[in-house]
A and B are shown apart, each in its own frame.
Chain A
Amino acid sequence: MSGFDFALIVEYLPDFWRGARATIFYSLTSLGLAVAIGLVMALCRMSQFVLLRLMARGYIDAIRGTPALIQIFFVYFGLPMFGLNLSAPTAAVIALGINSGGYLAEIFRAGIMGVDSGQTEAGRSLGMSYGKTMWRITLPQAALLVVPPAAGEFTNLVKGTSLLSTISVSELTRVAQQIVGVTFRPIEAYVAIGVVYYCLNAIIAQGAVWLERWLRKSQGLE
């Protein structure tokens, strides 16, 4: 074994491509679920109802206080004991969505609380309901505050998809492991997927910059 064999990477390009597509797929679907969960949990966390607040608090603490890997195992291996059998891909999306949702909840909450309370008062004083005020007045402004930290969380999510290799989801890391199993050359495969992860996250960072600029423009701030 000597030197870095580029040819090997080229040879397995179709497999890397398949893995990258899967990683992107799991990242995006989990993100969708995480945004929904995060928003609901953020609102529950600030609710006037004690029970909702406690529930959201417990959820967020549990998610942030335990390793993502354990959460994935819990969903995939643990839930069947309660009669809920999920396929690996379904368990993957649910576990990552639940995990990332816990972090996004706190990010969203900070964003919502970062919007001047005078905005809510202005909305309510017009006779707008809590929900309408939240949706039309507060959230659009919170979005602007939330984009940078949420992009950071999305990056964590993309990296977190590599944990799915442990429940035999064929995303990038799993694909690399399989290639190594055949070629016995770990350097090439792991460097290759490292580069892919890095590029994905660079795209997210740039996308966040664009999104923020677009939001600022559409809100008359530039």
Chain B
Amino acid sequence: MARTMAEEVARARVMPPPVVRIKDLRKSFGELEVLRGINLEIEAGETLVVIGPSGSGKSTLLRCTNYLETPTFGSVEVEGVPFALPKASRRAQERHLNKMRAQVGMVFQRFNLFPHKTALTNVMEGLLVVRGMNRAEAEERATAMLELVGLSDKLHTYPAQLSGGQQQRVAITRALVMEPKVMLFDEATSALDPELIEEVLAVMRKLANDGLTMIVVTHEMEFARDVARQVMFMDDGVIVEQATPEEMFSSPQHERTKLFLKKILRS
């Protein structure tokens, strides 16, 4: 039953807006419609795991969530504030985008660390440039954060001299140090050698347990089972189903989900 206006108002007063709210998100590349109407909400402290076959639009969804890709249609809000300002000038929109993106951390499959900066200065970059923090304070913060992920002996090492697992931990720290409201992980362990995956997953588990809000695209089903509040199965640009991990893995509702899970759990 639809809520009355009065109920909506009352609800809005007690309930803070979700950390991320995505409404009817669509994205096309030319003729190809990659996202075909995505709706989702994530509450503070929640971890949403997104699964789905390759090419289903998972990366595009994350990239639209921080506007690295501009959606073709629909809206993305962080704590009730939309990314798009339809009436703003180009400059104002650009400034607003930068401000919004600073609140959304992103971790990439290929790490994308700045190769010309050390682990420490990679992590300091956002604090210095975006936050305008002074060097001493930024260094102190970055050092402390890198220690938390077990990299205190790698502060002055360049990415080229770090293992993939270490690089990804630096990349996570680089995003985390900005104190984002939500973190997006796009197959953060897919480019890693098998023996390095666990050290990165361990960091992600810890963040989830500490109450960070996260959207995680991954093929690590065990991680999904342990950590996710909700698991979302995407295929062909739509959310096929969304459920708790228990429900999703023990009794998936849709044929496509069953097929995908069967394939991925076998490998």
**Contact yes or no, A125 B68, CB < 8 A:** yes
B101 contacts the other chain (CB 8 A)? yes
Size of the chain A interface, CB-CB below 8 angstroms: 22
**Contact yes or no, B116 A140, CB < 8 A:** yes
**Contact yes or no, A221 B66, CB < 8 A:** no
**Contact yes or no, A220 B113, CB < 8 A:** no
The smallest beta-carbon distance between B184 and chain A, in angstroms, is 8
Closest to B184 in A: A125
A84 contacts the other chain (CB 8 A)? no
**Contact yes or no, A127 B102, CB < 8 A:** yes
Please name all residues of chain B whose beta carbon is closer than 8 Å to the beta carbon of A140 when the two chains form the complex. Answer: 116
Chain A 149-189 against B: per-residue CB contact (8 Å), 1 yes, 0 no?
Answer: 00000000000000000000000000000000000000000
List residues of A (111-130) whose CB comes within 8 Å of B's CBs.
Answer: 116, 118-119, 121-130
Give the distance in Å from the alpha carbon of A218 to the alpha carbon of B159 in the complex: 13
**Contact yes or no, B158 A128, CB < 8 A:** no
Give the distance in Å from the alpha carbon of A124 to the alpha carbon of B125 in the complex: 12
Give the distance in Å from the alpha carbon of A12 to the alpha carbon of B159 in the complex: 56
Please name all residues of chain B whose beta carbon is closer than 8 Å to the beta carbon of A136 when the two chains form the complex. Answer: 125, 129
**Contact yes or no, B112 A126, CB < 8 A:** no
List residues of A (96-154) whose CB comes within 8 Å of B's CBs.
Answer: 116, 118-119, 121-130, 132, 136-137, 140-141
Please report whether the interface of chain A is mostly helix, strand, loop or mixed according to DSSP: helix
B94 contacts the other chain (CB 8 A)? yes
Please name all residues of chain B whose beta carbon is closer than 8 Å to the beta carbon of A206 when the two chains form the complex. Answer: none
**Contact yes or no, A127 B113, CB < 8 A:** no
Give the distance in Å from the alpha carbon of A136 to the alpha carbon of B106 in the complex: 19
Give the distance in Å from the alpha carbon of A130 to the alpha carbon of B104 in the complex: 17
Give which listed residue, B94, B117, B125, contacts A126 with CB less than 8 A: B125
Closest 6 A-B residue pairs measured CB to CB?
A: A220-B158, A127-B102, A219-B116, A122-B112, A126-B126, A118-B112
Using a CB–CB cutoff of 8 Å, the interface residues on chain B facing chain A are 66, 68, 94, 98-106, 108, 110, 112-118, 125-126, 129-130, 157-161, 171, 174-175, 178
